[in-house]
A and B are shown apart, each in its own frame.
Chain A
Amino acid sequence: AQKITQTQPGMFVQEKEAVTLDCTYDTSDPSYGLFWYKQPSSGEMIFLIYQGSYDQQNATEGRYSLNFQKARKSANLVISASQLGDSAMYFCAMRGGYNQGGKLIFGQGTELSVKP
């Protein structure tokens, strides 16, 4: 069975500083994808970044980077130079291979608040 764990219900960060949101996962599937989504109060799910299980390098997308440590089964999201608009819920998610039905399962989420 697949499992995603986010242990930080809420995080605060000062504007312009960097913040790391933690995510650990568990799966027996050798092929999987790890994702981070942002959900503002309006409810839409905004895709931020993707890391494949066979990717050798950590993924980066603008101010977002994913610290992928496969042996530790962690996929932490790093947001650099935080902005007020970054305040939202952040979800880590995992998608297994077709033997897992291609399902995307989510962690519990972390509510990030950026302080001016």
Chain B
Amino acid sequence: GAVVSQHPSWVICKSGTSVKIECRSLDFQATTMFWYRQFPKQSLMLMATSNEGSKATYEQGVEKDKFLINHASLTLSTLTVTSAHPEDSSFYICSAEVPSMPQSPLHFGNGTRLTVT
């Protein structure tokens, strides 16, 4: 159980366009989801905490107007990279918390490799 599905697994887009990444909890309801960004050979950096029905909480230094997060339902959070530029090319990965188990491990999607040309 506790499966998180992330789509697409990879995407190539042109500079200036927007890209939407979806994160779904398949067999549980996730009131809280987290979005991470990872550059090659580096660690996962938390971008924002997504809460169902409310505004996302962004980490310091993350542009909220650039990385739009919507958590409209208990099973879906989306990250939209707006006006993408080559420096936004990265690995984006989401994770979700099982509400009844706050100290349990987060369950991760398989990530999305974004390449902006």
Please pick, from B57, B104, B108, the residue contacting A44 in the complex, using a CB distance under 8 A. B108
Question: B residues 18-75 with Cβ under 8 Å of A?
Answer: 32, 34, 41-46, 49, 57
Chain A residues near B108 (CB, 8 Å)? Answer: 37, 44-45
- The total of chain B residues at the interface (CB under 8 A) is 24
Please pick, from B43, B57, B102, the residue contacting A98 in the complex, using a CB distance under 8 A. B102
B105 touches A52 (CB 8 A): no
Chain A residues near B110 (CB, 8 Å)? Answer: 42-44
1/0 per residue, CB under 8 A from A, across B77-117: the answer is: 00000000000000101010100001111111011010000
Question: A residues 24-64 with Cβ under 8 Å of B?
Answer: 31, 33, 35, 37, 42-45, 47, 50, 52
Which A residues lie at the B interface, using CB under 8 A?
31, 33, 35, 37, 42-45, 47, 50, 52, 91, 95, 98, 101-109, 111
Given A45-B44, A45-B108, A103-B34, list of 19 further CB < 8 A pairs? Answer: A35-B105, A43-B111, A44-B108, A44-B110, A44-B111, A45-B111, A47-B105, A47-B107, A50-B104, A52-B103, A91-B43, A98-B102, A101-B49, A102-B32, A102-B102, A105-B46, A106-B43, A107-B43, A111-B41
Interface pairs (6), CB distance under 8 Å? A44-B110, A45-B111, A91-B43, A95-B103, A101-B49, A106-B45
